[in-house]
Amino acid sequence: MRAFRTFGLVVFAASSLWAQDVIKIGAVMPLTGKESKIGGAYKVATEYAVKEVNDAGGLQVGKKKMKVELLLLDDTTDPSKSAQLVEQLINQNKVDAIIGGYASHLVQAQSVVPERYHVPYVTGGAGASAIYGRSKWVFGVLSPVEKLAETQMDFLSDLQKSKKLKTPLKIVLLKENTEHGRDFEKGVKDYAKAHPKQFSVILDESFELNAADFHPLLSRVENARGDVFMCDAHLEDYIAMHRTYTQMGLRHDMVTYGARGADDAARKALGPATDYVFASGWWSALLPYPQVKAFNEKWQKAVGSAPQWYHAAAYETARSLFTAIRNAGSLNKEAVRNALAKVDLKDSILPGGELKFSPTGEAVLPFVVTQNKPGGKLDLVWPRAAKTGDPVAPIPK
Amino acid sequence: MISVLLNTLLAAGLYATMAYGLAIIYGVMRIINLAHAGVMMLGAYAAYALFSRFGLDPFVGLVVVAPLFFVFGVLMYAAVGRRIAGAGATPSIESLLVLFGVWLVLQNFAYVVWTGDTQSILTGYTMKSIKVAGVRLGVPSVLVFLASVGSLIFLNVLLKRTYLGKAIRAVTQNRDAALLSGVNAGRISAIAFGLGSAFAGIAGAMLATLMAFTPDFGRSFLLKAFCIIVLGGMESVTGVALGALVLAALENGLAAYTSVPTSLQDAVSFALLFIALVAFPQGLPSLFARFERRAAIR
């Protein structure tokens, strides 16, 4: 019996030693279901970042070089399952840290678990401010949606200063009835309030996701007679709404659907009606930084297609976590969490070229603004220093 | 005023199109077909496939979609519907659960086949509009409205002028009496399921000309369609059209003449559903009949 117990202890000790050679990273993403398209892209980019580290021999943790083992689970775009799988990764798989998934509602569900078990958690797929600041264990790479709206207002303000747009501008503001939409609304309204001589919000309305008929809402937009049309919408609503907008013959000096605009699916669905729509994004392959060019090339070579913003966000999410583990010099969860709080990626591919987290755990990075041009062309028009073309304003009649 | 009126008519056409299929199946089988949204979604993808593979216009493609989904509906009845068909006055919980399961299966089937990518149909007239009495109306919305009116006429002729229609109405009104009269209720139920599915497929195909879609398509329309059939009386297609008109008028009227936020559109639907269930559970036709009876007594 004693021999058996000794044998067991030896096996346990050996397996513990073996486990120390691998960094276990858990990830929960929507690989099936409604968010599977972007969730799948997050998976590809996360796996790519892990492969890159492992191909280089692993991650230097203290005196050891350790390989990264990625345990990636599919939450089927179900928030309750998403949270449950994060819990499973922590309790059963004993992961050292978690990479969160995509879509604010799924991340919101996941984000309560790290606090419960004191496990470092970093996500690249949620920009809703409500997720952050509640737990010291939760970090996010996507800049808040409020900042997105603020960037768009900065862009419009710059167009006013260059006399391309008139001053003051009357804004009609529409937003989806979600956390994302409310953050967008707050960003626009706060900016307008701070710049009353430049902007006024003359209509502020919300709509439910996947609305069947946008006529009643757009009739109000028509009657409001605003100068700028600012809307925060998901892709399906952007397409349905802009079809109705075009059919109704509406026209504004500038039109935006928040983060939507340059999507291939929208350009395919709307044709030339998307020309001159401007959009803000968390990243663009057009950014003129050398590290972005290098990333574009290696991504194209490895994956065979051009990277999108979600690839860049997921890649930088994994990289920020790896950097934190390396800086912590151990897999101690508190040490990794503290290192995450101090992360400063000075070679980041994200806008601004530097990634660090604010005290609430949310990265606050500038957004880029792109504008669709005729013939399927897309230009980066903001920030000015990075622009690939001049913004067209007002939209030609 | 004219603008509100015309937009109400177009929206009513759209809403009625979503609801016909649900009403037919409920009327005959006393089943709330929760798979209705899934069948609409498949209809959208069928139109997309016909358009992208064969260049077939979605409205022309209805001649393929309608029979295809009729057969699909009959097969669905044979596989699922006949096992849960209730002769009672209220739908059984089993039927709700099974059809909800069918919806999930259809949805996941679509995710496997078409992935979660957003799809859409862009025809030469998608972004075009025509002017009617000075009001610009989207061409696809006008076509959906015309198709909806055509569907209403077709269903009324079918139900009132043909033997099949009379048999369907007989089963709708009193299944046991219809059985005693020699009507093959099983066969009629299969046809009703086929018809309901055909109209769901047609609705999906037409909605695909108005909006983008994913395998999740149809979820929000199901609730609206349900409100409409409760409002219109669950067994009458004319009532459905009337219910759709009332709902559309309320939504457009509130947006045009009040400051009630348009985000409360769905709340309007549900408030209406609640009022209908409490005040006139048999729908608007029964309410009108009640008024007529009172007028006759006076």
Residue of chain B minimizing CA distance to A272: B127
pLDDT of residue A124: 95
pLDDT of residue B3: 84
Chain B: give the shortest CA distance to residue A338, in Å.
37
Helix axes B265-279, B237-257, angle to 10 degrees: 130
User: Which residues in chain B have their CB less than 8 angstroms from residue A181's CB?
Assistant: none
Q: What is the pLDDT of residues B76-118, one digit of tens each?
A: 999 988 887 655 556 678 888 999 999 999 998 998 898 888 8
Tally the C-alpha atoms within 13 A of residue A243's C-alpha that lie toward its C-beta: 31
User: What are the domain boundaries of chain A?
Assistant: 19-143+289-342, 146-281+368-386
Size of interface A-B (CB pairs under 8 A): 122
Cβ separation A219–B256 shorter than 8 A: yes
Buried b (16+ CB within 10 A) or exposed e, A247-260: bbebebbbbbbbbb
Residue of chain A minimizing CA distance to B216: A34
Q: What is the pLDDT of residues A29-48, one digit of tens each?
A: 999 888 888 899 999 999 99
Chain B contact for A33, CB < 8 A?
A: yes
Mean pLDDT, chain B, rounded, equals: 87
Statement: A19-143+289-342 belongs to CATH 3.40.50.970? no
Is the pLDDT reported for residue A152 higher than 80? yes
Chain B contact for A212, CB < 8 A?
A: yes
Share of chain A above pLDDT 90, in %: 79
**Mean pLDDT value of segment A56-72:** 95
Sheet holding A64-74, edge to edge: A59-61, A64-74, A22-29, A97-99, A121-123, A138-140
* Euclidean distance between CA atoms A35 and A76, whole angstroms: 8
Residue of chain A minimizing CA distance to B261: A205
Cβ separation B251–A213 shorter than 8 A: yes
Residue A84 contacts residue A339 (beta carbons within 8 Å): no
Does A96 or B29 have the greater pLDDT score? A96
Q: In the structure, what pLDDT confidence band is assigned to residue A5 with cuts at 50, 70 and 90?
A: low
Is the pLDDT reported for residue A374 higher than 90? yes
Q: State which amino acid sits at residue A222.
A: E
Cβ separation A208–B213 shorter than 8 A: no
End-to-end CA distance of chain B: 36
Chain B: give the shortest CA distance to residue A48, in Å.
22
| Domain covering A146-281+368-386 in this structure, CATH number | 3.40.50.2300
pLDDT of residue A3: 52
Is the pLDDT reported for residue A7 higher than 60? no
pLDDT of residue A353: 92
pLDDT of residue B270: 80
Chain B: give the shortest CA distance to residue A319, in Å.
27
pLDDT of residue B67: 97
Q: In the structure, what pLDDT confidence band is assigned to residue B229 with cuts at 50, 70 and 90?
A: confident
pLDDT of residue A18: 47
Q: What is the pLDDT of residues A106-117, one digit of tens each?
A: 999 999 999 999
Is the pLDDT reported for residue A20 higher than 60? no
CA nearest B172: which of B89, B288, B74, B69? B89
Share of chain B above pLDDT 70, in %: 96
Residue of chain A minimizing CA distance to B213: A236
Q: What is the pLDDT of residues B202-214, one digit of tens each?
A: 999 999 999 999 9
Cβ separation A34–B127 shorter than 8 A: no
Torsion A144-A145-A148-A150 (CA) sign? negative
Cβ separation B211–A220 shorter than 8 A: no
Chain A: give the shortest CA distance to residue B111, in Å.
7
Is the pLDDT reported for residue A14 higher than 70? no
User: Which residues in chain A have their CB less than 8 angstroms from residue B118's CB?
Assistant: 37, 235-236, 239, 265, 269
Is the pLDDT reported for residue A330 higher than 80? yes
Chain B contact for A265, CB < 8 A?
A: yes
pLDDT of residue B86: 59
pLDDT of residue A96: 97
Q: What is the pLDDT of residues A239-266, one digit of tens each?
A: 999 999 999 999 999 999 999 888 888 9
Mean pLDDT, chain A, rounded, equals: 91
pLDDT of residue A332: 96
Share of chain B above pLDDT 90, in %: 46
Looking at the partner chain, which of B18, B117, B210 has a beta carbon nearest the beta carbon of A243?
A: B210
* Euclidean distance between CA atoms A273 and A266, whole angstroms: 10
Does B218 or A26 have the greater pLDDT score? A26
Chain B: give the shortest CA distance to residue A219, in Å.
7
Is the pLDDT reported for residue A328 higher than 90? yes
User: Which residues in chain A have their CB less than 8 angstroms from residue B222's CB?
Assistant: none
Cβ separation A205–B263 shorter than 8 A: yes
